[in-house]
Amino acid sequence: MSGLKILRIGPAASVQDTGRPGLLGQGVSQGGAADPLALAEGAALLRQDPGLAALEMGGMGGEFEATGPLRIALTGAPMAATLEGEPLAWNASHRMEAGQRLSIGAARRGVYGYLHLGGGIASEPLLGSRAVHLMAGLGRAAAAGDLLPADSDRNNETGLVLAAENRFQGGELRIVESFQSGLFPEPVRTRFAATAFRRGGRANRMGVEMVSDGEGFAADGQLNILSEVILPGDVQMTGDGKPFVLLRECQTTGGYPRIGTVLPCDLPRVAQAQAGAALRFCWIGLEQALEIQAKFEKSLKGLPAACRPLVRDPAVLRDLLSYQLISGAVSAEADPFATGETA
C-alpha cells in the first residue's frame, strides 16, 4: 500500500473527511473538514469521491516522504509546496514516486491547507468516519512518524488545476435569523450587521472569535436561558457579549444565546480568516439564503468539470509552471496582487 510518511508536521494537522452526521442525539457534532469546499476541490482534482479523507493542516504544513508511487492534490489555504525542492502549484494535482519528499510550508493566506492522496487516506474509521474530532476524543492530531496510508487508487490522472474561490481574507458573511434571534433587541441586531469585526485571537475547529470596537451584543436574560441545540454557523454570544461563529466541530448544545446562523456556504470564509482579517455580517431572508446555498451545492457538483490541465510549455522556465494556477479565472472582487499563488 502506498502512502505518505510524516517526517515533520505542524501542531494543528489532522485527518478529516465530511464528518459524522446523525450523532447529535449522542452529543457528537458532525465535525469534518473546517473548509469542506477544499475537500471537494481536492476530490475533483483527483477525480475521486468527495467523501474521502485528506490531511488538514492548520497554519502550517510539514514534510512527507512517499512510501510508493501515488497521486496528491493540494487545496485550501495556499502554502508554499515543493517536491524534491521543485515548486508545486497549489490547488492542483501532482504525482509522487516512492522515496520522493514533499515539503509544505506556512499558510500565506487563510488558515487550513489540505493534502489529498489518490484513493483517499485509509486511516481507521471511528463511529463511521475518519474525521479526527479532538473535542469528542475521536482520534488525535497527526504527528511525526505517522504513516498516512492511501487506499487503492483506480485513477492515474494528475496535472490538473482548479481556480480557487478566494475565501482566505475574511469578507462578508450572510446570516439568517434563528430561534434565539428574538432574544436580541432589534437595535442590537441592526448594530451587529453595521459593525466592522476582525477575527480575534481565539479560533480553532470549534469556533472563531469576532472582535470589534464598542460595546458587546447582549441578549435579554443572557445567562439564564435553557441550553439548546447548536447548529454550525450559529453566532453565539459569550457572557460578555462577544460573538463566536461556531464551526462544525462545535459542541452540540449550549446555553449562550445565538443571534443568528451564518450560511453553510460562507463558513469556509470564517474558518479560513486569519487573525485580524476584516469580517462583516449581512442579514438575509430565508428564501434568499436557501437559493444561495442551493446554488453553492450545485457549484460543488460542477468542480470536476472545472478542472483544467496545468500548462506545461517546455519553452517556459520550470519554476514558472506554478504561475499557471489562476489562468483565466481571476475573480472580479479579487486583488490581482494578492492572487497568483506560486511556490
Partner 1 sequence: MNSQEALAYPLVRRAGLNGMLVSFDSSLSEASNRAALAFGSAVEALPLEGVVETMASLASVFVRFDPADLRHEALEAALETLLTARNWLQAPLPAGRRFWRVPTVYGTDLAPQLGEAADAAGLSEAQAIESLGAARVRVLTIGFAPGQPYLGSLGPEWNLPRQTELTPMVPRGALVQAISQFVLFSNPAPTGWRHVGQTGLTLFQPGAAQPFALRPGDEMQFEPVSKPDFLKHCEDEPLLGGAIVAEIAA
Q: Which residues bind partner 1 (CB under 8 A)?
A: 21-28, 126-127, 135-138, 176-179, 182-183, 185, 220-221, 223-229, 231, 233-234, 238-240, 251-256, 261, 263-264, 286, 289-290, 293-294
Closest distance between partner 1 and the C-beta of residue 248, in Å?
13
Closest distance between partner 1 and the C-beta of residue 127, in Å?
7
C-beta of 16 vs 261, nearer to partner 1? 261
Closest distance between partner 1 and the C-beta of residue 41, in Å?
22
Closest distance between partner 1 and the C-beta of residue 281, in Å?
14
C-beta of 278 vs 290, nearer to partner 1? 290
Cell of 148: 498516512
Is the backbone of residue 233 left (phi > 0), alpha (psi -120 to 50) or beta?
left
Closest distance between partner 1 and the C-beta of residue 128, in Å?
11
94 with 57: CB under 8 angstroms? no
Helix, strand or coil for residue 297? helix
C-beta of 190 vs 253, nearer to partner 1? 253
Closest distance between partner 1 and the C-beta of residue 67, in Å?
26
C-beta of 128 vs 276, nearer to partner 1? 128
C-beta of 154 vs 224, nearer to partner 1? 224
Q: Which of 331, 330, 335, 312 is nearest to 322 (CA)?
A: 312
From start to end of 77-188, where are the E strands?
79-83, 86-87, 92-96, 101-107, 112-117, 147-149, 160-161, 171-176
CB-based contacts of 210, cutoff 8 Å, min separation 6: 197, 198, 199, 200, 235, 242, 243, 244, 245, 279
CB-based contacts of 190, cutoff 8 Å, min separation 6: none
Closest distance between partner 1 and the C-beta of residue 332, in Å?
26
C-beta of 135 vs 211, nearer to partner 1? 135
82 with 245: CB under 8 angstroms? no
Per the document, the length of the chain is: 343
Q: Which of 75, 51, 58 is nearest to 131 (CA)?
A: 51
C-beta of 124 vs 313, nearer to partner 1? 124
